[in-house]
Structure 1
Amino acid sequence: MHQPANTTSELGQLDRYWRAANYLSVGQIYLLDNPLLRERLQPTHIKPRLLGHWGTTPGLNFIYAHLNRVIRARNLDMIYICGPGHGGPGMVANTYLEGTYSEIYPDITQDTDGLRKLFRQFSFPGGIPSHAAPETPGSIHEGGELGYALVHAYGAAFDNPDLVVACVIGDGEAETGPLAASWHSNKFLNPARDGAVLPILHLNGYKIANPTILARLPTDELDQLLSGYGHDPLFVEGSEPSEMHQKMAQTLDEAFDRIREIQISARNGGRRQRPRWPMIVLRSPKGWTGPKDVDGKKVEGFWRAHQVPVDGVRTNPTHLDILENWMRSYQPDTLFDESGRLVGELQALAPTGSHRMSANPHANGGTLKRKLELPDYRQHAIEVPSPGAGPEEATRVMGNYLRDVIELNAEARTFRLMGPDETSSNRLDAVFEATERVWMEDIEPYDVHLGRDGRVMEVLSEHLCQGWLEGYLLTGRHGLFNCYEAFVHIVDSMFNQHAKWLEVSRTLPWRQPIASLNYLLSSHVWRQDHNGFSHQDPGFVDLVANKDADIVRIYLPPDANSLLCVTDHCLRTYDRINVIVAGKQPAPQWLSMAEAEAHCAAGIGIWSWAGTEETDEPDVVMACAGDIPTLETLAAVSLLRDAFPDMKVRVVNVVDLMALQPREQHPHGLSDKEFDRLFTRNRPVIFAYHGYPYMIHRLTYNRANHDNIHVRGFREKGTTTTPFDMVVLNELDRFHLAIEAIDRVPGLVSKGASAKQAFHSRLTEHHRYVREHGEDMAEIQGWHWRSKETID
């Protein structure tokens, strides 16, 4: 066992280090100049706008200082995840004290001038954010939104056997749904192969203006709650610094002794059941060591300490004195030498090199990234002797490919598949030929595909699936998240945060690229045989399209071979978010592998085999994006071809949705010349789209032919019904598409009256038939594509 740190001198030095971090944190919030108070504080030394959050910061600094001691004493590999969102002053302060900040940003030097720049940049135009953002060394966790710290911590620990992830959870954050679910992540952590997570629940009592729930629970009730989650909570409570240092040091030693015992037992062939991992509950005052009160109102230990405890400092001399007394209480002259550098004995308290939490390579995962070994996707190609072959389940074919991905990377353990209990439902069953689902609870003899070392992670929380994957990617690994299309909306905000992280990270030369976040959205809007309206929402792609153009990609492969091409491509990319939408039901197959490769490489193209045009000027363009819209478009073309043999129809299929944007707006976008070549400048375009119609208008609004683009998609009409009835309800079916073409082609309205009447009659018959028989008409179920040659 390690000898605990309990000597007065050692803890006294640690207290000075903590005071230095607190001093730098206050300075960042308040000061423009006079960084070490070498003269009396003046209004001109104060920032004109005081922005930042003090309340959580001293507790974060306290934890950081103590973890540094443990790292040095035990030679640990550790990263620090800061859950309290706006604890940025503390995170920046500690990375500066360790020297990492100056190494990455040489202009922020280890002297008085560097301190001045450090303070000035915080929450200042042209500077850095107030939270632990990508700019902060050692951070993998965007602090802008609460709820995801613990799930990110576990994602980082999976397949990282030597890593310890210290995760500080604010008591405000602990009230969020994602964090509440995250406590269950310990049921998926394998001590034999994974690293360790040390949750530190920081109870300082208050949010912005209210008490926090967990802080008001009696200690015995809180202990029962956390124990019920499967943790072994250790409590550190108080406010007197010397006592708290002693308690924290002893408690951390106890926690790390237990972690080591758990890992040694598991790795030496001991019991492999789920252990009860230690965690720490730190109860300390909000705004600890700050002003006790201001203007007769309580501050320390109350919500008034949350942001800026003393305001109006430039104009209120009394408040200026309070700030100066507060900052001088840390005794900066004893912490920094004449040059403004941290004194030598305190520098020695920080770990060195990559053992510094701010310099740990796991917190810059791109530096550890290993190439993902990928199989030849062509080996899984579906034979398509002619368009309309099949039917095949596209995602089942994809599952075979993912099985090989898992097998090829089994030894490296660098790929995981995440999903909310939907791997089999989404037809990815083949992966279970290569691995199991991770499960650390008891396994019954009749259970199937459960194991301690599985590469598939399933839990009925989209938040956990995404958070685990983000933590996994941010520490250098690879993965894919498969989800029902309608319920991926649950992680809308998580997607937002990750997209913002990537966008900022790309501007930082020291941040190395990480593997892309890849989504497979299946069980989509058009086939919900078991569910219905509640499971019908294709709008996630609308959110995705809002983000920076070079970050996001949206793919709608029309068949299995194109899905293989797209999946392989996405798994090879970095620093992006790729969204793939693909159905799991049996469907016709349109493209050979060679055709699929060419089509996916272009992202969009004319399917000449499907059209009837003989010149570059068709009468109508029938466009489609998505597997069901492609099917219905081709069926509509077949109807038009039979009704109007002389009509010139062009079929355009879109697999890369971003290709519709102008090239100036997206790297995959078409030039105006290319767009006009496909869609013409003046012919009607009937566009069948997988999602909400406005998306196509939004992407094409400034094209020359936009006024002639008529989009049909999901109109928020749904229920539990037959597959064809779903498209009819939303007027995306072949009959409505054909009628739209008749109405839009000049001179065809009167000529096509009888055809329109026939199509309306078929819709009326369909309506009657499905409500009487509960299935689609035989002509719909048995429809197949006929080539022009067959017709001729």
Structure 2
Amino acid sequence: MPATEIPIPNPPPLPSHLPDSILDLAIIFERKELPAGDRKGLRAFQRAGCYITAAMIFLRDNVLLSSPLKTSDIKPRLLGHWGTCPGLVLIASHLNLLLRNNPSLKMIEVIGPGHGAPAALATLWLEGSLAKFYPGEYDVSSSGLYNLITRFSVPGGFPSHINAETPGAIHEGGELGYALAVSFGAVMDNPDLVVACVVGDGEAETGPTATAWHAIKYLDPGESGAVIPILHVNGFKISERTIFGCMDNKELVALFTGYGYQVRIVEEMEHIDNDLQGSLDWALGEIKRIQKAARDGNPIIKPRWPMIVLRTPKGWTGPKEVDGKLIEGSFHSHQVPLPKAGTDDGQLKILEDWLSSYQVKDRLIVDGKPTETVTRILPQDEERRLGQLETTYVPYKELKAVDWKPFGVDKGSEQSCMQVTGKFLDAVFQSNPTALRLFSPDELESNKLSAILDHTSRNFQWDEYSRAKGGRVIETLSEHDCQGFMQGYTLTGRTAIFPSYESFLGIVHTMMVQYSKFVKIARDVPWRGPLASINYIETSTWARQEHNGFSHQNPSFIGAVLNLKPEAARVYLPPDANCFLSTVHHCMHSRNYVNLMIGSKQPTPVYLTPEEAADHCRDGASIWDFASTPGSPDVVLVGIGVEVTFETIAASALLQSICPSLKVRVVNVTDLMVLVSESRHPHALSKEKFLELFTEDKPVLFNYHGYPTELQGILFARENVARMSVAGYIEEGSTTTPFDMMLRNGVSRFDLAEKALKAAAAEGKNEDIKQGLDGYLGEIKKKVKEVREFINSEGKDPDDIYDMPKFN
């Protein structure tokens, strides 16, 4: 890529309101000349990488231009994103040289512009990483190169975005915004790891990226590695300018200096290789300086971590102009700069001239192998190349198990699921000081999990009271950061927990889905090892709000998890503290799942001993004899969720009190997935077990924590579902009392008892119920009226409303 072939854009004018010293820190640095052989090697690697990248987008044959291009050599569907790729190839070449020159360095690359997969795959082929993981298919050979180019973005080949099939990748590249947070999560408790994170200037406009710049404030250099953010500014998105592309250098330096970074701006195309490699050397030196001070016991107060702003023209080295439109340096190069190459002779000729300009055949690639000039910049130890570090593909570290049963509480007591779980997690953190973290919005105390802090602390490095003390807990008000940190931490082998208010987990819905897509593909990639599951604890639920109102009532994240593939989705609604302990213990030792655990922070009854809870959670659902009447039931009441299960038990007690002839069975479901048809989920109850719990033909009334349609969808494939009804959250709420929320949403004991009586009467098999129905319903309506009047007059629930019901 001779620099003389590249037009150098005029930089935007500099404003005068900022002191020159800020800009000087970023731009005026001593330029060091690379050895001539290294400069030549970098350029050779870059030219070869850009050629392969472009060929992957366009060619289905004649992959090294052994003959003049014909329309039959062009793929029928042109898919890919060229514009970002030359810059990505440039960065990859320099990272490999940095690794070669620093034999002890452990580095991986996270590529934010995820649709830059052609560049990533091209450089991975050149460095031999594709050959390692796909022997015989993508070898460093003529056939391997042919397969790479012709199979790209076609069925059976690599997709157009970075995913789990890409060696070295630890995030799904289909949606922008997550790369930086994932990178910081990866280096936490990985003291020797450096992640070079490329952030595109379009991606930098996203909310998740905007908050992730602050992750340096949570990075303890004494215990963790480091991230080198590389903001790649090429000026354009799909068809519009970028915000960061329109910022001049002083504005960029002022912004990121304010965020806490030292900034280097690399933009002079004439000296791009000297300046980029020199800046990477500088960044690595700054990282070592900051880490050494911390590890020697003299941590730097508010260390200023290095970052690089790299300006290159979009679509660099590609066509300059096509059909009168500027391509290089404009948004027209974003995707396919020659969309008619397969049908238009003029564009076909431009493509041939473009590919030929790299002079690859017989100069850089001979007999299907890169020449020594191309490979001289690579680390000699192949396992240290960007695509081959074991951290990215065989990382899983099993947690040291802690027995949860000693933390169990007495049956018959009232306990907060979260307070009890906090004490257990405190012990787990002590046993796993570098393999487990908790990422949470500012909600740990309000969710009553603060016992976690008994032997650890919050990790916030910009605060004088917590810096340089480690800490297993990171609290930041960005759910996006919490999710990104958790993903990076998990994808590099550790285990993480994300507790949150129920109503706001939906903020990370798409991030969770993208992660699950990565894991889904990873499960089928033979060279990738298992991963710890990601674990959500959902509390502060709609059913027991304190001072919050309608805005804090939203259980929709359940549906988000249910929509995942059955192999990935797990939703648990433990009914009491002992069941919650059992569930948390199980989830932290599970693999490859998205686990959602929903519980209450308020004290609620404990129905089961630890041993009974273990059995109940193992089965996923069971009949609760203590709340049921003996014998074959007239109606089955099912509770799924802490508060609605209590109402289910209370409904059974109410029915037994006012209508003793009604036979009631109470069932609790703690693993939501057991209700799915047995052909659709590995946790599903067999048909025989399902009927054993719910009978073959009796009315079944579900009292469900989430939206009724979710559970209706789960039950759809079961036989005889017409006899089943579902009550759940129906978007009725306000700043009101907990029991009034039950009434408003039709899940109170009174609603359930009324439905049970009507269902049994409709069956007509119990004459007493049929004849006395109006009287029974009248008695229930009277109780509802009394409770409503009390709530309205006193502003609280009746004092005895949450007393555990008495059964004969």
Partner of 1:309: 337
Q: Indicate conservation of the 8 Å contact 2:41/2:375, yes or no.
A: no
Partner of 2:744: 729
Partner of 2:597: 580
**1:118 aligned to 2:151?**
no
Looking at structure 1, the residues matched to 644 and 720 of structure 2 have their Cα atoms a distance apart, in angstroms, of 21
- 246-255 or 64-73: bigger deviation: 246-255
Looking at structure 1, the residues matched to 165 and 199 of structure 2 have their Cα atoms a distance apart, in angstroms, of 21
SS of match in other structure, 1:780: coil
**1:484 aligned to 2:501?**
yes
SS of match in other structure, 2:678: coil
Question: Of the candidates 251, 269, 272, which is equivalent to residue 244 of structure 1?
Answer: 272
**1:363 aligned to 2:386?**
no
Looking at structure 2, the residues matched to 40 and 749 of structure 1 have their Cα atoms a distance apart, in angstroms, of 88
- 119-128 or 168-177: bigger deviation: 119-128
**1:179 aligned to 2:209?**
yes
Looking at structure 2, the residues matched to 544 and 754 of structure 1 have their Cα atoms a distance apart, in angstroms, of 43
**TM-score normalized by structure 1?**
0.96
Q: Indicate conservation of the 8 Å contact 2:170/2:491, yes or no.
A: yes
Question: Of the candidates 393, 413, 421, which is equivalent to residue 390 of structure 1?
Answer: 413
Partner of 1:473: 490
Looking at structure 2, the residues matched to 541 and 260 of structure 1 have their Cα atoms a distance apart, in angstroms, of 44
Partner of 1:423: 444
Partner of 2:8: none
Question: Of the candidates 615, 621, 629, which is equivalent to residue 604 of structure 1?
Answer: 621
Structure-2 change in CA distance of 1:370 and 1:678 (3 Å): same
Partner of 1:758: 779
Looking at structure 2, the residues matched to 362 and 115 of structure 1 have their Cα atoms a distance apart, in angstroms, of 27
Shift of 1:758: 1.5
Q: Aligned letter for 2:401? A: L
Partner of 1:196: 226
Partner of 1:638: 653
Partner of 2:251: 221
Shift of 1:100: 1.1
Q: Indicate conservation of the 8 Å contact 1:83/1:147, yes or no.
A: yes
Looking at structure 1, the residues matched to 588 and 221 of structure 2 have their Cα atoms a distance apart, in angstroms, of 28
Looking at structure 2, the residues matched to 487 and 762 of structure 1 have their Cα atoms a distance apart, in angstroms, of 35
Q: How many residues align?
A: 770
Looking at structure 2, the residues matched to 706 and 785 of structure 1 have their Cα atoms a distance apart, in angstroms, of 30
Q: Aligned letter for 2:689? A: E
Q: Deviations over 1:418-460 (max 9, x none)?
A: 110111211111111110000101325xxxx776301001000
Shift of 1:109: 2.1
Looking at structure 2, the residues matched to 439 and 705 of structure 1 have their Cα atoms a distance apart, in angstroms, of 55
Shift of 1:369: 2.2
Question: Of the candidates 584, 587, 590, which is equivalent to residue 570 of structure 1?
Answer: 587
Partner of 2:163: 133
Partner of 1:45: 73
SS of match in other structure, 1:438: coil
Shift of 1:749: 4.5
1:506-521 → structure 2 map (5 Å cutoff): 506-521=523-538
Q: Indicate conservation of the 8 Å contact 2:79/2:153, yes or no.
A: yes
Structure-2 change in CA distance of 1:3 and 1:450 (3 Å): closer
Looking at structure 2, the residues matched to 215 and 669 of structure 1 have their Cα atoms a distance apart, in angstroms, of 52
- Structure 1: 5+ residue stretches without partners: none
**1:89 aligned to 2:118?**
yes
**1:79 aligned to 2:111?**
no
Partner of 1:719: 734
Looking at structure 2, the residues matched to 749 and 458 of structure 1 have their Cα atoms a distance apart, in angstroms, of 57
Q: Indicate conservation of the 8 Å contact 1:266/1:272, yes or no.
A: yes
Structure-2 change in CA distance of 1:297 and 1:657 (3 Å): same
Partner of 1:785: 805
Looking at structure 2, the residues matched to 550 and 641 of structure 1 have their Cα atoms a distance apart, in angstroms, of 41
Looking at structure 2, the residues matched to 457 and 312 of structure 1 have their Cα atoms a distance apart, in angstroms, of 51
Shift of 1:334: 4.7
Looking at structure 2, the residues matched to 377 and 313 of structure 1 have their Cα atoms a distance apart, in angstroms, of 64
Shift of 1:238: 3.5
Partner of 1:208: 238
Question: Of the candidates 148, 153, 163, which is equivalent to residue 183 of structure 2?
Answer: 153
Shift of 1:613: 3.1
Looking at structure 2, the residues matched to 451 and 730 of structure 1 have their Cα atoms a distance apart, in angstroms, of 48
1:252-651 → structure 2 map (5 Å cutoff): 252-351=280-379, 352-364=381-393, 367-384=394-411, 389-410=412-433, 413-443=434-464, 452-615=469-632, 618-651=633-666
Q: Deviations over 1:627-673 (max 9, x none)?
A: 01110000000000011112111111100000000111000011222
Shift of 1:335: 4.1
Looking at structure 2, the residues matched to 258 and 328 of structure 1 have their Cα atoms a distance apart, in angstroms, of 41
SS of match in other structure, 1:751: helix
**1:105 aligned to 2:134?**
yes
Q: Indicate conservation of the 8 Å contact 1:239/1:285, yes or no.
A: no
Looking at structure 1, the residues matched to 227 and 302 of structure 2 have their Cα atoms a distance apart, in angstroms, of 14
Structure-2 change in CA distance of 1:5 and 1:727 (3 Å): farther
Q: Aligned letter for 1:460? A: L
Partner of 2:793: 772
Partner of 2:173: 143
Q: Deviations over 1:701-745 (max 9, x none)?
A: 122231011111101001111111110111100011100111111
Shift of 1:221: 1.0
Q: Deviations over 1:76-122 (max 9, x none)?
A: 11000000120100110111111110111111222222111101221
Partner of 2:22: none
Looking at structure 1, the residues matched to 681 and 215 of structure 2 have their Cα atoms a distance apart, in angstroms, of 38
Structure-2 change in CA distance of 1:253 and 1:334 (3 Å): farther
Looking at structure 1, the residues matched to 473 and 288 of structure 2 have their Cα atoms a distance apart, in angstroms, of 26
Looking at structure 1, the residues matched to 534 and 214 of structure 2 have their Cα atoms a distance apart, in angstroms, of 23
Q: Deviations over 1:738-771 (max 9, x none)?
A: 0011111134344122221121112122222111
Partner of 1:58: 86
SS of match in other structure, 1:778: coil
Looking at structure 1, the residues matched to 382 and 318 of structure 2 have their Cα atoms a distance apart, in angstroms, of 32
Q: Aligned letter for 1:533? A: F
Q: Indicate conservation of the 8 Å contact 1:481/1:519, yes or no.
A: yes
Partner of 1:708: 723
Q: Deviations over 1:299-327 (max 9, x none)?
A: 00000000000111111111111111111
**1:25 aligned to 2:53?**
yes
Q: Aligned letter for 2:688? A: K
Q: Indicate conservation of the 8 Å contact 2:40/2:373, yes or no.
A: no
Partner of 2:16: none
Q: Indicate conservation of the 8 Å contact 2:208/2:481, yes or no.
A: yes
Q: Indicate conservation of the 8 Å contact 1:676/1:704, yes or no.
A: no
SS of match in other structure, 1:779: coil
Looking at structure 2, the residues matched to 404 and 344 of structure 1 have their Cα atoms a distance apart, in angstroms, of 54
- 764-773 or 550-559: bigger deviation: 764-773
Looking at structure 1, the residues matched to 776 and 360 of structure 2 have their Cα atoms a distance apart, in angstroms, of 87
Looking at structure 1, the residues matched to 369 and 586 of structure 2 have their Cα atoms a distance apart, in angstroms, of 49
Partner of 1:660: 675
- % identity of equivalent residues: 42
**TM-score normalized by structure 2?**
0.94
Shift of 1:188: 0.6
Looking at structure 2, the residues matched to 353 and 325 of structure 1 have their Cα atoms a distance apart, in angstroms, of 34
Q: Deviations over 1:470-490 (max 9, x none)?
A: 100000111111011110000
Q: Indicate conservation of the 8 Å contact 1:621/1:686, yes or no.
A: yes
